[in-house]
């Protein structure tokens, strides 16, 4: 089922970003697209409380901090979504599993002082140990909601040259199992992934894992 995104409000974005950052994004002429992606993230996270969901949104967000951004990111979609649910009282704890090739510095920066949200960037450059790292993290995860910052640039035919398409299905399966074990929800948001010949296949593999 495909749901159309609804743009995040300025107040929803301000929950994690400064007014000066919003002004800069407006000045760059990308505010509407970035707000639409952030709103789609809120929808995906909210739906993820009931059933696994994937936010196929861009621009991405995990390099966006409260007052700065880089790497094609403008607003931190994951942070906007999780902060919205925290503020609404719909969750008390959240876990972010960042599987992008690049370190999600923006998400770490935003939540560095927030004990309600734990962020883990998978750093292994070896296929087997990468999946093992995800499995270890999911085995000890007890959050109300697990969000995957789903970058696919670690694929063997992308910059990272590490994972196979079926590995994303396994990652999705591990995340869903961890969420179910704790009685929580799970969702994913699109981050990186630059080989468009295989990106769709990898996204679908992750969705299949989350839906298994």
**Which positions are catalytic?**
63
Sheet strands side by side (includes 185-190): 53-55, 185-190, 145-150, 94-98, 117-121
Question: What's the half-sphere exposure (Cβ side, CA atoms, 13 Å) at 54?
Answer: 23
123, with CB counted inside 10 A (0-12, 13-18, 19+), is: exposed
Helices (H), the chain: 10-14, 19-27, 31-48, 77-87, 105-111, 127-139, 165-182, 199-211
């Amino acid at each position: 089922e495909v749901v159309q995104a609804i743009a995040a409000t300025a107040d929803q974005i301000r929950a994690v970003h400064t007014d000066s950052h919003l002004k800069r994004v407006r000045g760059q002429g990308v505010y509407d697209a970035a707000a639409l992606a952030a709103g789609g993230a809120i929808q995906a996270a909210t739906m993820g409380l009931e059933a696994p969901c994937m936010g196929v949104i861009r621009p991405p967000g995990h390099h966006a901090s409260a007052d700065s951004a880089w790497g094609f990111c403008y607003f931190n979609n994951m942070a906007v979504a999780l902060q919205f649910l925290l503020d609404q009282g719909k969750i008390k704890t959240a876990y972010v599993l960042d599987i992008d090739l690049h370190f999600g510095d923006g998400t770490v920066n935003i939540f560095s002082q927030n004990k309600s949200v734990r962020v883990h960037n998978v750093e292994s450059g070896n296929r087997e140990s990468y999946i093992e790292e995800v499995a270890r993290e999911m085995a000890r995860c007890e959050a109300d909601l697990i969000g995957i910052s789903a970058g696919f640039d670690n694929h063997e035919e992308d910059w990272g040259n590490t994972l196979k398409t079926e590995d994303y299905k396994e990652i999705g399966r591990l995340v869903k199992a961890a969420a179910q074990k704790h009685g929580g929800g799970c969702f994913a948001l699109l981050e990186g992934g630059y080989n468009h010949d295989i990106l769709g296949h990898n996204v679908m593999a992750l969705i299949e894992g989350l839906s298994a």
